[in-house]
Amino acid sequence: MNSAPLRSPLHDEHVALGATLVDFAGWEMPVRYSGDIAEHTAVRTAAGLFDLSHMGELSVRGAEAEAFLDDALVGRMSAVALGGAKYTMLCAADGGVIDDLIVYRRDWDHYVIVANAANRDAVAAELAERVEGFDADVEDISDDIALIAVQGPAAEAIVQRMTERGADDVEAMKYYASAPILLAGGIHAFVARTGYTGEDGFELFVGADEAAAVWQLALAEGAADGIVPCGLSSRDTLRLEAGMPLYGHELTRETTPFEAGLGRVVVFGTEKNPRGDFVGRAALESARDAWNAALADPAAAGGEKTLVGLVGDGRRAARAGYSIVDESGASVGTVTSGAPSPTLGKPIAMAYVPLALASEGTAVHVDVRGRRESMTVTALPFYKRTA
Amino acid sequence: MAHVPEELLYSEEHEWVSGELAEDSVVTVGITEHAAEALGDIVYVELPAVGDSVSSGEVCGELESTKAVSEMYSPVTGEVVAVNEELSDAPETIGEDAYGEGWIFRVRLAEEPSGLLDSEAYAKITE
C-alpha cells in the first residue's frame, strides 16, 4: 500500500462540498457529505451521487479474451452478450475467493473488469499470471478512469437529462446492460445499469480528466429531483440492507461461494452445455459436493456455516467481528457486517452461522461488547425495492 | 472545523465538562462536536442511570451511529444526578447541538477533577 493516500480525480469536488474524508483501502475518499441517514434516504427516495473512482478497472483485450476469462473466472464470460455484464468471482486454485467482480463485455474481444479497491493489485497480478499462453492482454486502466454512480428511483430521469445523445438508450437499458452514451458537452461515457444500493441506478465510466464535469453535470441535472452526493458510509448501509456482500466481510480467501449463498455464480456446465476446466474448478466441485451433502443432512454436517441475515430485537447493533454465542457463551458464529438500518429502524447484520441455526425465525444471541443481544434469523435481503 | 467553546474543559476521550470543579458541585457532561462529527448520525445513546457512580476515565455509556459505535467515558468522578432523557427519542440532538441541548448527564463531583484540558489544548489533539 502506498504511504501517501491516493486521490480520486474528484478530490477537489469533495473538498468543495465539505465532505469528511477518510482513508479507504489506501484512498482518501468521502465518508459523508451532509449526513449518513440523509444520504441513505436520498438514494431510497430520490437519488444519490457516488464517486467510485477508488475501484479498480482492468481492460482485457485480444482474440482469446473470452477463452482467457472462461479459464480465469468462475463464471462463463463467453456467454455474456455484447453490452452485457456479469457478477462473478476470481477464485484461487483452492476455491477461496480472491475478489468478487463485475465484468462488462464491451466488444467481442474486449472486456472491462471492475475490482474492489483493496484487491486491485491482487486481481491484476493474478490475471497477469493466468493470461500466460492466451492471445490476450490485461491492462490496469484504473488511473485513467473515473467511476461515478447515480443511484435511486430518479436515476433514470437524471441520467437521461445528462445526455447529449442516447437518452432513449438509457431508458431502454436493462439491469446489468450497458451502452456507450454521449453526455452533454460531448463527453463520452460508458454507462451501465448496475449498482450496489438495492435501487435502480447507473454507473458511468468516464475519463479521469472529465470526471469533474460529469460530477457537476449530475448534480445540476439531478437538483430538481433532490440528488445528493453520498459517501462510503451510506453506501455501506445501502448495500447491507440490500443483502449484498462486501469483500473482506462476507467474502474472503477462507470462504467458498457456496457458504456465501453465491453458488450460482460458479458455472460448472451441464451435460448439454458442458464447461471445461477453470482455475479452482476441482476445489469448488468438492466444496459444492460437501455443501450439498451438508444441506441434505444437516445433523451429519461437518461444521458448515452459511450466511444469514439477522434483525435485532433491541437497539444495540451487532458489528463486524462480533460473535454469535450459545447458552454457555461459547462462540458459534460470526457477524460479518452490521449496523442500525436507516430504512427498517432496527439493527441488521449479516453473519455466518452453523446450518442448524440458519432457518428463518431462529432466535440467536450476539455478544455486543460483553452483553448478549437477542436477534432473529431473517431472509436476505432486508430491503427490496417495490418498483 | 469543529467548534471548541473556550468556557468548557475537555477530556482526551472527547467529552466536555461545564460547571464549578469543586467537590460536591454538579457539572454537566457531553461529547464534543468533533466527536459527534466523527460518529456521524447518532441513532442510539446508552445513558448511565441516575444514582450510578462514575469514575474518571471509565466507560459509562455508549453512542451508536449508523457508521460506528463508540464507548462514552466519564471525564469526572462522582454520582450521576441527572441524565438527558430527551436523547432516548432524539439522539440526533447531540449532533445538532453538542454543547447545549445535546448534554448527556450531570454528576455531583466526589473529588475535584484533574487532568482536564482547556479549549486550546483540546483543539490541539483534534487537529
Q: Which residues of B fall within a CB distance of 8 Å from A236?
A: 67
Report the CATH number at residue A50.
3.30.1360.120
A48 and A150 share one domain:
yes
From chain B, which residues contact A within 8 Å (Cβ)? Answer: 37, 40-41, 43-44, 46, 62, 64-67, 69, 71, 95
A211 and A347 share one domain:
no
A21 and A161 share one domain:
yes
Our count of domains for chain A comes to 2
CB-based burial of residue A207 (10 Å sphere; 0-12 exposed, 13-18 middle, 19+ buried)?
Answer: middle
A227 and A354 share one domain:
no
A164 and A229 share one domain:
yes
Report the CATH number at residue A341.
2.40.30.110
Is residue A318 one of the residues assigned to a domain? Answer: yes
A306 and A387 share one domain:
yes
Q: What is the pLDDT of residue B36?
A: 93
Q: Which residues of B fall within a CB distance of 8 Å from A340?
A: 43-44, 64-66
What range does the domain containing A148 cover? 6-54+144-241
Q: Using a CB–CB cutoff of 8 Å, tell me whether A241 touches chain B.
A: no
Is residue A33 one of the residues assigned to a domain? Answer: yes
Q: Using a CB–CB cutoff of 8 Å, tell me whether A20 touches chain B.
A: yes
Judge contact between A158 and A46, C-beta under 8 A: no
A228 and A368 share one domain:
no
Is residue A70 one of the residues assigned to a domain? Answer: no
A11 and A159 share one domain:
yes
**Distance between CA atoms of B126 and A265, rounded to whole angstroms?**
46
pLDDT tens, chain A, 387 aa long: 447 899 999 999 999 999 999 999 999 999 999 999 999 999 999 999 999 999 999 999 999 999 999 999 999 999 999 999 999 999 999 999 999 999 999 999 999 999 999 999 999 999 999 999 999 999 999 999 999 999 999 999 999 999 999 999 999 999 999 999 999 999 999 999 999 999 999 999 999 999 999 999 999 999 999 999 999 999 999 999 999 999 999 999 999 999 999 999 999 999 999 999 999 999 999 999 999 999 888 777 677 899 999 999 999 999 999 999 999 999 999 999 999 999 999 999 999 999 989 999 999 999 999 999 999 999 999 999 986
Judge contact between A123 and A101, C-beta under 8 A: yes
Q: What is the pLDDT of residue B127?
A: 83
A236 and A321 share one domain:
no
Q: Using a CB–CB cutoff of 8 Å, tell me whether A35 touches chain B.
A: yes
pLDDT per residue as tens digits for the range B76-117 = 999 999 999 999 999 999 999 999 999 999 999 999 999 999
Backbone angles phi, psi at B22, to 5 degrees: -130, 155
Is residue A344 one of the residues assigned to a domain? Answer: yes
A171 and A310 share one domain:
no
Let me know the angle formed at the C-alpha of A125 by A122 and A131, rounded to the nearest 5 degrees: 135
Residue A318 CA: distances (Å) to CA of A36, A88, A335, A359: 18, 28, 7, 19
Judge contact between A231 and A32, C-beta under 8 A: yes
Is residue A218 one of the residues assigned to a domain? Answer: yes
Q: What is the pLDDT of residue A387?
A: 66
Using the predicted structure, report yes or no on whether residue B59 has a pLDDT greater than 80.
yes
Q: What is the pLDDT of residue A62?
A: 98
Let me know the angle formed at the C-alpha of A348 by A345 and A354, rounded to the nearest 5 degrees: 155
Q: Provide the β-strand partners of residue B61.
A: B72
Residue of A152, A318, A308 whose CA lies nearest to A238: A152
The answer to whether A32 contacts B40, with C-beta atoms less than 8 Å apart, is: yes
Handedness of CA B32, B33, B38, B43 (dihedral sign): positive
**CB atoms near residue A4 (< 10 Å):** 7
Q: What is the pLDDT of residue A4?
A: 86
Best residue of B33, B39, B43 to probe chain A, by most A CBs closer than 10 Å = B43
- Chain A residue closest in CA terms to B88: A315
Is residue A24 one of the residues assigned to a domain? Answer: yes
Q: Which residues of B fall within a CB distance of 8 Å from A38?
A: 41
**Domains of chain B with bracketed CATH:** 10-112 (2.40.50.100)
> Distance from first CA to last CA of chain B, Å, rounded?
9
Rounded to a whole number of angstroms, the distance from the CA of A318 to the nearest CA of chain B is 10
Backbone angles phi, psi at A61, to 5 degrees: -130, 150
- Chain A residue closest in CA terms to B38: A20
A193 and A304 share one domain:
no
Is residue A381 one of the residues assigned to a domain? Answer: yes
Q: Which residues of A fall within a CB distance of 8 Å from B66?
A: 36-37, 40, 233-234, 237, 339-340, 342
> For B17, how many CA atoms within 13 A lie in the half-sphere containing its CB?
29
**Distance between CA atoms of A249 and A259, rounded to whole angstroms?**
13
A178 and A41 share one domain:
yes
Is residue A132 one of the residues assigned to a domain? Answer: no
What would the grid cell of residue A313 be? 430485537
**Distance between CA atoms of A218 and A108, rounded to whole angstroms?**
31
Query: Which secondary structure element, helix H or strand E, spans residue B121, and what is its range?
Result: helix B119-125
